[in-house]
Structure formats: structure tokens, C-alpha cells
Amino acid sequence: MTSVSIEPITVADKDSGPYAVTSGPDGALWFTMVHSGRIGTLRSGRELETHQLTPECGPTIIAAGSDGALWFTEYKAHRVGRITADGDVTEFSLPTAESGPFGIAPGPDGALWFTETTAGKIGRITTAGEVTEYALPTATAFPSAIVAGPGGKMWFTLNQDNAIGSIDVDGVVEEFPLPTPAAGPVGIADGEDEALWFVEIAAGAIGRMTKDGDITEFSLPDPEARPHAIIAGGDGALWFTEWGANRVGRITYDGEISEYDLPGHHSEPHGITLGPDGALWTAMETGALARIEPR
């Protein structure tokens, strides 16, 4: 079992809800605060800066774009936002009302691709703000997280359809059902083994899928752990959050699982990223980012 050091850094009050975190092209950590409608920045030396959006917009997932800016979804305001390193914000309304955008990730075509949970669509937005939407076969599939992966495609979880989906740059969609019923996939990552790795929040498991659709599932020791997000850690393993168990976990590419308790109680870890300093960082909804350094 790999040993780790974990350092929590308070970045907000407990009611702000740090949710997702990513590394920016400026060498800083950027994170969303879903309950207070803010975007936060944590730079070297623990310098903290916050940017206020519409308080009730519900910023969720954030990702770096090809244009040097950060892009994020506003789940409650049904918009996609863009923020520069200087804090200038632009927001883009979506064609479909009440679409519930959630996951967002840069694509191989230089655009950002995002999920529309309540509309059952995958969206594409260029860095100039042009939006295209692609309807999924099932309107109630609840597409959640999304990532660029094998075959030059975007890959995403279908939380209510219990499947993994892919979409190419022409909008062609393919779906792969999961072996475990009602597994509830959420987070997804592109592994260093040319496979997709994802979490099954309702089944308490981690899944691996090849680009051809071959799926392997690894059960966690605690079936009630509720894994939420996952990222390739660069250390020969993937790291994930256990929202229901106050832990982060590590799984090697051959399926060996380790788990680590986070400080405090019920910290509600959600997003996780590989930071610019080479450590793992997770956003804890109770008001902190935790720095996780494998030893």
C-alpha cells in the first residue's frame, strides 16, 4: 500500500461548497464553489483568490480550454462559463432550456464538450462561444462526466442509462451497457493503459472499459463508499474520491485498491485532479482543498 501525506487547506466557508478542481494553464489550481456561485484560484504559496458569479448559478465542473482560459458549467443557470487567468468572465446561454449542464472537458478538435443532464444531450462549444447540441438515444439517460479518450472521441457516463457513451467529432454516438444493474456511473478518466476508467457511485465499484467496450469492474471494500470522481495520477494508478466515506482511493492498472481517510468528518470529497505541483488535490464540499502526496 502506497503511503501518503494529506494536507487540508481551507479555501471557503463550509456553506460555499468547493466541488470540482482542475489545474490551469497558469500553474494555479482552479475550483468551483457550487453553493455560493464562485470560482476560486489557489496559487503557489497558498495565495487564494475568488471570483463571484451569480450566487445561485451552481458552478459545477471546471476544465482548462485550448484558449488558455478555464471553462465551467453552471448547473442551475443552464449556462457554460469562461474565465481568464485575470478573472474576466463570459457566460454562454444554451439552446435547450433547463438543460442542466454538468461535465465539461476539452476535445481533440479544440472545442469544449459538455453534458446536459436533464436534456439528455451532449453539447459542444467552440472557444468563440458557438454551441452545438447532440441528442442521445434516451432523453432520460442523465449524461454526467465527460473526458477525451481513445479513438479521438469524447467518452461520458450515462448515470441513469447505466452505460458508458462515446461521441465522435461528427456527433455519432455509441453506448456500452454496464454489467452491474443500476450501478450509477459518474466520474470518468482516460487511463494511461488506453482504457477508460470510471466510478460506479451506486454500486461502490470502479470500472475499466476498453475502446471496444470490454468492461471489468472492481468492487471497493466498502460498498457504501459512493465513489464520485476519478483521475489518472501519473504514478501508475488512478485516484478517486469516496464521497460517502470521507476518503480518497487509489487503484492500480491491475486492480489493486488502497484507501486513505481524509481529515475531519463527512468532508464530502467530490472533484480530484493532478495538480501543477505533481500532487493530487481534491475539493471537499465542507470548505477545503486537500493536497495528497504519495510517498
**Number of domains comprising the chain:** 1
Tell me the C-alpha distance between 27 and 253, whole Å.
Answer: 28
Consult the annotation and say whether 35 binds a ligand.
Answer: no
Residue 107's pLDDT band (boundaries 50, 70, 90)? very high
Give the closest residue to 214 by CA, choosing from 238, 200, 196: 196
- The confidence score (pLDDT) of residue 176 equals 98
On average, the pLDDT of the chain sits at 96
Q: pLDDT value at position 29?
A: 97
Euclidean distance between CA atoms 267 and 73, whole angstroms: 23
Catalytic residue among 35, 51, 266, 270: 270
Q: Is 242 annotated as a binding residue?
A: no
Share of the chain above pLDDT 90, in %: 95
Which residue is associated with the grid cell 493532478? Answer: 274
- 226 pLDDT band (50/70/90 cuts)? very high
Looking up residue 183, the CATH number of its domain turns out to be 2.130.10.10
Is-catalytic flag, 270?
yes
Boundaries of domain holding 274: 4-294
Q: Is 74 annotated as a binding residue?
A: no
- pLDDT value at residue 20: 98
pLDDT in tens, 78-97: 999 999 999 999 999 999 99
What's the confidence (pLDDT) of residue 45?
A: 66
Which tens digits make up the pLDDT trace of 153-163? 999 999 999 99
Cross-sheet strand order for the sheet of 288-294? 4-10, 288-294, 280-284, 269-274
